[in-house]
Amino acid sequence: MSQLTELSAVKCFGGWQKRFSHASQTLGCDMQFSVYLPPQAKQGQALPVLYWLSGLTCSDENFSSKAGAQRVAAELGIILIIPDTSPRGEGVADAPDGAYDLGLGAGFYVNATQAPWAEHYRMYDYIADELPKLCDANFKLARAAIAGHSMGGHGALIMALRNPERYSSVSAFAPIVNPTECPWGQKALSAYLGDDSSQWQQYDACALLSEAGTNWTMPMLVDQGLADNFLDSQKLSRPLQALCEQRNVPAEFRYHADYDHSYYFIASFIEDHLRFHAQHLR
């Protein structure tokens, strides 16, 4: 297990907003991630944790600086762990045309099998296995929940659907729920996994839920802005809601007039998500 190097620490609502780096064996590069430790962490007891997965173009710092989640996390005694969205560093492949939706900042939380991506782009294994083990070894963690935005909402949903024993609840803001059928997902999945679309299904929340059927019982909350420019073009939220209704899967989908795809939307409703998870984490 690699060691953590503390990069920064800022006092925040009685706790600490910190940033760490470590050498990732899974990704074959150095990685950074952010952690909010609420004031209860200094008392020594294990605390519940919420993993937050960010969207396209983001790093581990967008959520910690823009969402305003620390105040409520401090009140509820929840640790926030915020990983980066892709491998980084010299020698890590990037989109040759500098596109924002492939390569750096766009790992899509999958294990790539195609060159040149396969060497480093194994974000699924990093989020599902390496990062939790690293954090368990360095922080006192109790039960876990997972949440995310856009591409990170996709990541949170597939992590929860494929690993239901690891998380008490899942939530998402404007998630990509059917990547096999939307432009962002098709571009990323074909690049990372190849042209055989049968290999894509393991990273598609709608496909995974179809397979799980009525056996899926994990509490789920999804918020979606109706002024989101990507709502229809990237098929956000609605296909998963339709599937949940068809299969009588309990899940709450909320739609908000005039809200877009930005962190202003996330900041407006992040308190609801933290309180939702707190109910199930305890």
Within 25-75, strands assigned E span: 29-37, 47-53
Distance (Å, rounded) from C-alpha 255 to C-alpha 224? 5
- Alpha helix (H) residue ranges in 96-223: 123-125, 131-138, 151-162, 183-193, 205-212
User: With contact defined as beta carbons under 8 Å apart, do 190 and 181 qualify?
Assistant: no
Given the residues 154, 261, 273, 277, select the one marked as catalytic. 261
Question: First vs last Cα of the chain: how many Å apart?
Answer: 29
Which residue in the block uniquely carries the two structure tokens 């909402």? 153
258 is catalytic: no
Closest of 10, 62, 72 to residue 32, by C-alpha: 62
Distance (Å, rounded) from C-alpha 227 to C-alpha 118? 36
Distance (Å, rounded) from C-alpha 262 to C-alpha 149? 9
Given the residues 228, 237, 273, 277, select the one marked as catalytic. 228
30 is catalytic: no
Given the residues 24, 54, 86, 150, select the one marked as catalytic. 150
Distance (Å, rounded) from C-alpha 268 to C-alpha 271? 8
- Tell me, what DSSP letter sits at residue 261? S
261 is catalytic: yes
Strands lying side by side in the sheet with 47-53: 5-12, 15-24, 29-37, 79-83, 47-53, 141-149, 170-173, 220-225, 252-256
Burial 98-130 (b: 16+ CB within 10 A, else e): eeebbbbbbbbbbbbeeeebeebbbbbbbbbeb
- Active-site positions? 150, 228, 261
